[in-house]
Every structure is written in C-alpha cells, then in structure tokens.
A and B are shown apart, each in its own frame.
Chain A
Amino acid sequence: MTTTDAPQAAPPPTGKRRIGDAVFAGLARGSGLLILLILAGVAAFLIIQAWPSLAANTTGFLTTQEWDANVRENPAFGVAALAFGTVLAAAIALLLATPVAVGIALFIVYYAPRRVASVLGYLVDLLAAIPSVVYGLWGIGFLAPQLVPVFRGLTEYLGWIPLFSGPASTSGRTILTASVVLAVMILPIITAMSRDVFKQVPQGHREAALAMGATRWEMIRLAVLPFGRSGVVGGAMLGLGRALGETMAVAMILSPSLAISFDLLQSGNQTIAAHIALQYPEATGYGVSALIAAGLVLFAITLAVNMGARYIVARGSKEA
C-alpha cells in the first residue's frame, strides 16, 4: 500500500549511508507496516472466531432477523435487522448533521467576526471530546423525554409519511432519538473538515464572484460550495463511519429488540454495535461467536464507508 511505497526519496548525494537516516527510515517503515499488521490481525481474529457459529448456523446469516444464538447446537441467528438498524440510524444522523455542520462551517469562515469564529470553532471541537457514555446519559435522561411530544406531533401531522406512522413511543427511546444523538456526535468532524476546505477556497475564485456583483451568499454558492464539495462529502463519510460504529450512546438509548422497521418513532430497531455490547455479557453457547460474526459485518461496513470517503476526498483534491 501507499504507506510502504512512499519513502522513496532520492539517495543522499554522497552515496554514504548515514546511521540516523537508516534508523529513522526503519522506524517509519515499521510503523507503516504495523498498521497493516493490526488491520490484518483484527480481520483474521474476527473471521476465525466467527467461523464456528457461521458454520453451525441453520439459517441465512445475512438475511435472518432473529437472534437465537445462545444455544449449544443448531443456532439460528442473522444480522439483517441489526445491519439495517445500524445503517438507518447512521444515515438519519448524517442527514441531520451535514446541513448543520456546513452551516456552522460557513458561518465560522465567512460570516462570524474573527473572535467569535475562533471561540465557536473551539466549542465545536469540544463536542468531539465529550465521552459517548455522557451522550448516552443525555439522550436517555433529557433528549428522549423532550422528544416525546415532538414525536406525537409528527405522527399527528405527518403520519401519512410511513416513516412517522406511529403510534409514537411513550418513552422516546426510538431510532430517531438515537439518530439525533449520533448527529450531535458526528457534527464536529463534519464541521472541522468543511471548515478546513472552505478556508482553502482560493481568494481568486471568491473575488471573481464578488467582482461581478455577487452577494456574499452568491459568492458562497458560486465559488465556495463547488470547491468545498469533496471536503464536505469526505467529512460526512468520516462522520458516517463514526456513527456506524458508535456503541455506548445507542446501547443506552434504544431498548433491545430486533426488527426491520421503517417507523422511526417506535422502539424496534437496534444497531450492531449496541447489540454486541448489550448481548455480550449474557452470551453462551454459540452466542459469543455469533456476536463476533456481527462485528465482522460492522467491520466490513465501516471499512467500505471509510474507503469510499478516501476515494471521494482524493478524487476531489485532484480536480481542484
């Protein structure tokens, strides 16, 4: 991979090998290889540990919704509902967070007075420093009860949209609540990436827009957003990666159950990460192995999302 290919600098002009150089190159190369080893090791562990349960599974692992794995023989479990819940929660979180993050980033870079901008940027970064268990507490203790009347309103007025058909949960501990919490959690990374790319918009492009009579918003639309699009998408994908893997907050908010449901206002969905965290202490028989198989699926999803993000960011920076 690129990490190992990169250090092909020209040899020193004297042709003499300097010890410091060799040591440093070795250390750098070793660190690069270490990443590959760790990644391969984790993947190997997941596959090896998951294999017994997958081999013994009596139903289709990717298509089954039930989780009947805590038995000594003939386990029947599948990751369909979990994978669905994971992707759904993360996707909603992304939909909620991205516009807000772009708005914050634009405000910081182009609207706020310099002092306000730096304070605001710092505060957003601080959001990333809050432990996820605290987000979970906030979600379950504050946000969920607060959202109950909102959910009731949604079913009442927007109930014709299948997503909001209800009846609304009375506890507020629904996939939508979890998504809102996830949205807050991924806000910092999307904001930070967007802010960085918005700052890099060449002055020439911005002045070109202004010089032909663009207002500030028109300047942003003509020069900033097209230039920053790849950065925003990259940030969103990194945020998506984080939302997919987030465990603690989701595990605390969602009540454990397994179903594929598009109804955002009822408890019913669950995510892979939260399911593993909740089930692991009581797993017996094939249970642990089955949970590791679920982990393998999560690993594959996040890997795919992150590679997608890298690809988009790299392609975008080549264009610009």
Chain B
Amino acid sequence: MAKRIDVSGLHVYYGDFLAVEDVSMTIEPRSVTAFIGSSGCGKSTFLRTLNRMHEVTPGAYARGKVLLDDMDIYGPDVDPVLVRSEVGMVFQKANPFPTMSIYDNVIAGARLNNRRMSRSEADDLVEESLRGANLWEEVKDRLNKPGSGLSGGQQQRLCIARATAVKPSVLLMDEPCSALDPISTLAIEDLIHQLKEDYTIVIVTHNMQQAARVSDRTAFFNLSGPGKPGKLIEMGETNQMFTRPEKKETENYITGRFG
C-alpha cells in the first residue's frame, strides 16, 4: 500500500520563472512528513509536483526525478491520470462536489477506475472509507443528502474519505486544516495519526504546533531571497527540527524571529 517517494534534483518552473530550485528528499512510507515555511516559498508548488497536479496550471512544468517506489512518475510513458490515482490529494478548502450526495462523493473516484462495481461492493467501500475518515457515525443516516450540507470539518473529512476510496498509496494534504476551527482541526489530526498506518502522508502546514503534533519528519522551505526561487533548507526528524535545527534560518523561522 504505502510507498516511498524519492525526489532528486527537482526544479519547478512557471513558464520562465523558476519557482522551486533543486529539491532532493526521501519521504518514508507509513510516516507523516510536514512541509513548513513562509507563504510563497514553494512548498505547495512542490507538493503538487508529487502527483503532477502542478500541470493543471498552464505553463507549469518540473525538471528532475520523482520515484514512487520504482516508478518514475515523470517517465516518458507515465500517464499523469495514473499517478494521481496512486497519489491522492486533499486541498486547503474542502471541495466536495456540490451536486452530489455524500455517498456519490465518496464513490466518485473509485467509480472512475471500476465502472462495473456492484451495489454491495460500492456500499462496502463507502462505509469503509467513511469509517476510515471517522465520519461514518455522523453521516450514516444521511448518505443521500448533499455533501455541501456538512460542516467545514466534516466536509474536509468527506474529502479525505473520497481520496482514500481510490486506494492510493500516498496522500498529499495541502493545508487541510487552515479553514477549520480547533475542534475540527483536532479531528483531522487524529485522523492523520490513524491514516499513517496505511498511507504515506505529506502535509503542508502553516501551523508549527500542528507540524510538531502530527509529523514524524519535517522539511523547511524558504526563499533564497526576494524574487528568488524557493529551496529546501533542511529536513529531519520533527523532534530534532523543532529542538536542535542545524541551520540558523530554520531556527529563526521556528522560534518566530523570522523576517
């Protein structure tokens, strides 16, 4: 299930503009890796290159190598659609399909790959995914109601259920809690702890307590200067990053003496 990600020498461009420069890192399976850094430092951009979602932005492209176990996701005959069903994503703003019921939202991605799913298979998958997202008890009596009727935190967990229903090996989360209240945030963080049993999880966050709470390893990104591309400054065990970072820049950011 969970797979290792190996990035080497990755540059990301928006047209002529180099947005992220020369990132190399290894992301361990069955662990949570947090990306921290100030806004605009390229951590979200870099996250999106891990499932080729950056290609949705016109003019964006990446140079370098990203290995998912043995598969080079930028290989010449690799289909980005396939990459994305292996590497799922949860976004900053919960985005369930507004016209679909809770049930249909969960099953939407899985239906794409397996059109002939029987009713009972689908029911099982919906229940399994919603249970996995700690949402089943809250919605089991209203599966046919629209997903947009849920609270923000529930919607985000619905999006996580939708992503896991596709059975990816990696789950990317782009600031999944930044629009949520503390209680809902806690629910998501608990969920992340459970999910790392089965998935490789990468989370971008602006909340350093959150990074400290949920992640095993932390990567700090920063701009090399105004108007310059973003870079990976340092990456290591979360404990060590927050207590004894190797670089001065990291320490400044973590202790709030930044900028």
Bound CA–CA A114/B163 (angstroms)? 31
Q: Does A281 contact B (CB under 8 A)?
A: no
Q: Is the CB–CB distance between B108 and A222 below 8 Å?
A: yes
A214-B109 contact in complex given A207-B91, A208-B91, A227-B99, C-beta closer than 8 Å:
yes
Q: Does A218 contact B (CB under 8 A)?
A: yes
Kindly supply a per-residue 1/0 record for chain B positions 73-88, scoring 1 wherever the CB is within 8 Å of any chain A CB and 0 otherwise. Answer: 0000000011011101
Majority-rule SS of A interface residues: helix
Q: Does A210 contact B (CB under 8 A)?
A: yes
Q: Is the CB–CB distance between B97 and A213 below 8 Å?
A: no
Kindly supply a per-residue 1/0 record for chain B positions 93-107, scoring 1 wherever the CB is within 8 Å of any chain A CB and 0 otherwise. Answer: 101111110000000
Interface centre among A218, A222, A226 (most CB of B within 10 A): A222
Q: Which of A205, A213, A319 is B95 in contact with, Cβ under 8 Å?
A: A205
A212-B162 contact in complex given A202-B95, A204-B91, A207-B53, C-beta closer than 8 Å:
yes
How many B residues are at the interface, by size bracket?
20 to 34
Q: Does A124 contact B (CB under 8 A)?
A: no
Q: Does A211 contact B (CB under 8 A)?
A: yes
Q: Which residues 175-213 in A have Cβ within 8 Å of B in the complex?
A: 202, 204-213
Q: Is the CB–CB distance between B85 and A213 below 8 Å?
A: yes
Q: Is the CB–CB distance between A212 and B53 below 8 Å?
A: no
Closest CB of chain A to B15's CB: distance in Å?
Answer: 13
Name which residue of chain B comes closest to A204, CB basis.
Answer: B95
Q: Is the CB–CB distance between A218 and B112 below 8 Å?
A: yes
Closest CB of chain A to B3's CB: distance in Å?
Answer: 15
Q: Does A147 contact B (CB under 8 A)?
A: no
Q: Does B125 contact A (CB under 8 A)?
A: no
A-B contact pairs, 26 of them (CB 8 A): A202-B95, A204-B91, A205-B97, A205-B98, A206-B56, A207-B95, A208-B159, A208-B162, A210-B56, A211-B53, A211-B163, A212-B85, A212-B88, A212-B89, A212-B108, A212-B109, A212-B166, A213-B85, A213-B86, A213-B112, A213-B113, A214-B81, A215-B112, A226-B98, A226-B99, A227-B98
Instruction: Give B residues with C-beta under 8 Å from A.
Output: 51, 53, 56, 58, 81-82, 84-86, 88-89, 91, 93, 95-100, 108-109, 112-113, 159, 162-163, 166
Q: What would 15 more interface pairs be, CB under 8 Å, given A207-B91, A210-B84?
A: A205-B95, A208-B95, A210-B53, A210-B56, A211-B51, A212-B84, A212-B85, A212-B109, A213-B81, A213-B82, A213-B109, A215-B112, A218-B112, A223-B97, A226-B98
